[in-house]
């Protein structure tokens, strides 16, 4: 695949790329650059943004020739007091997340899963953490609180100061050329770029993917932490669709979703159509009664957006279509966890855990 084609794929993933010129140079000089993503095993289920959207994005990156290192950030979740600070429970959730990805189409052949629990035994890792900490102010570290799903005022524990230092060090320890995480992780990736050269390392390229929004009405606030309130979140179960939700749960959640007529901006039904449905299906069929114009087959997202803006598609018809396609994407994972006794037992155990922030 030529450089332009590889760049095009990565641009489909990156809502923001810092910088595209550096990315181009990287692709020209390295056949298989290394991208890093880290995920915090922090809840009792994984939602479609982490599951389906993550698989779509990683598959585009690997198709572009990128090798992935996926960090199971168990110690980071521990530092962030997730699941009551129980490391064993956090690690079981990490295993669960990998199983979900295994069954939702992620290209695992080009991914190396790395557990923080393994490399924290290496003194060289902690040297890198210390280098980051020594070259950063407390104020600068607190400003990165978004990476933990927290506003600056919510960074209360000393361990939460350690977390961003660890995450920045992860990039250099894993020898990552590219930081490929969500927009909510942008601040710590920028920190790594700012201090990388002075520490004797490099400036990683940042490819930040879009954060899928939740099902509820968008927040009125306009501050810089709005991204945390807007994104799909495990801590607000009714605002998220999970990879093991029943068909009835998905239908109920979609039925209650924010979806005003003719409104395009921050409409979750349109967003899921754009980032999930048209990525996985060739067309989107909206079924309607004949008196409302009959069924319509839509071939791309731009066409859907135009019809919806013009009021030619009713919100309930759109919701019914989104429910159908999302359920089709979730179904293989749900059925696998229902039929495989080992996975079924794993999920039953995890769902008994108390979720903490």
Residue 156, pLDDT score? 63
Residue 145, pLDDT score? 67
User: 65-100 pLDDT, tens per residue?
Assistant: 999 999 998 888 888 888 888 899 999 999 999 999
Residue 147, pLDDT score? 58
DSSP annotation of 148 = G
pLDDT < 70 positions in the chain: 145-156, 223-225, 235, 356-357
DSSP states of 7-74: HHHHHHHEEEEETHHHHHHHHHH-SS-EEEEEE---SSS-BTIIIIIHHHHHHHHHHTT-EEEEEE-H
Residue 235, pLDDT score? 67
Residue with tokens 């129980």: 86
Domains and CATH numbers, the chain: 3-209 (3.40.50.620), 226-350 (1.10.240.10)
Residue 146, pLDDT score? 59
* C-beta separation of 344 from 337 below 8 A: yes
Q: Please tell me the distance from the alpha carbon of residue 119 to that of residue 122, in angstroms, as a whole number.
A: 5
Q: Please tell me the distance from the alpha carbon of residue 63 to that of residue 54, in angstroms, as a whole number.
A: 14
User: 202-259 pLDDT, tens per residue?
Assistant: 999 999 999 999 999 888 877 666 777 778 877 677 789 999 999 999 999 999 999 9
Residue 84, pLDDT score? 85
Residue 160, pLDDT score? 77
Cβ atoms within 10 Å, residue 265: 8
pTM of the model: 0.90
């Amino acid at each position: 695949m030529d450089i332009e084609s590889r760049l095009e794929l990565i641009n489909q993933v990156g809502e923001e790329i810092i910088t595209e010129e550096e990315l181009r140079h990287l692709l020209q000089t390295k056949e298989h650059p290394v991208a890093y993503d880290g995920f915090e095993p922090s809840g009792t289920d994984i939602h479609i943004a982490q599951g389906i959207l993550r698989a779509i994005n990683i598959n585009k990156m690997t198709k572009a020739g990128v090798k992935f290192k996926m960090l199971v950030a168990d110690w980071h979740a521990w530092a962030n007091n997730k699941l009551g600070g129980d490391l064993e429970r956090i690690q079981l959730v990490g295993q669960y997340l990998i199983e979900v990805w295994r069954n939702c189409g992620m290209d695992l052949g080009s991914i190396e899963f790395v557990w923080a629990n393994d490399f924290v035994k290496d003194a060289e890792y902690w040297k890198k953490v210390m280098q980051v900490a020594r070259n950063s102010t407390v104020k600068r570290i607190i400003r990165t609180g978004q990476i933990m799903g927290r506003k600056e005022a919510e960074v209360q524990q000393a361990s939460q100061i350690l977390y961003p230092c660890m995450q920045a060090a992860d990039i250099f320890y894993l020898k990552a050329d590219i930081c490929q995480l969500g927009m909510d992780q942008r601040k710590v990736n920028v920190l790594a770029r700012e201090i990388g050269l002075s520490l004797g390392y490099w400036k990683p390229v940042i490819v930040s993917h879009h954060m899928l929004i939740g099902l509820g009405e968008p927040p009125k606030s306009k501050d810089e932490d709005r991204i945390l309130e807007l994104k799909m979140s495990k801590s607000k179960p009714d605002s998220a669709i999970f990879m093991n939700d029943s068909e009835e749960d998905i239908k109920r959640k979609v039925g209650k979703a924010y979806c005003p007529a003719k409104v395009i901006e921050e409409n979750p039904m349109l967003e899921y159509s754009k980032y999930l449905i048209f990525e996985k299906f060739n067309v989107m069929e909206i079924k309607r009664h004949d008196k409302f114009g009959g069924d319509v087959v839509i071939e791309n997202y731009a066409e859907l957006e135009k019809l919806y803006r013009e009021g030619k598609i009713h919100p309930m018809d759109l919701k019914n279509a989104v429910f159908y396609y999302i359920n089709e994407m979730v179904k293989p994972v749900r059925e696998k966890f229902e039929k495989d006794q080992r996975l079924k037992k794993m999920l039953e155990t995890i769902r008994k855990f108390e979720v903490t922030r």
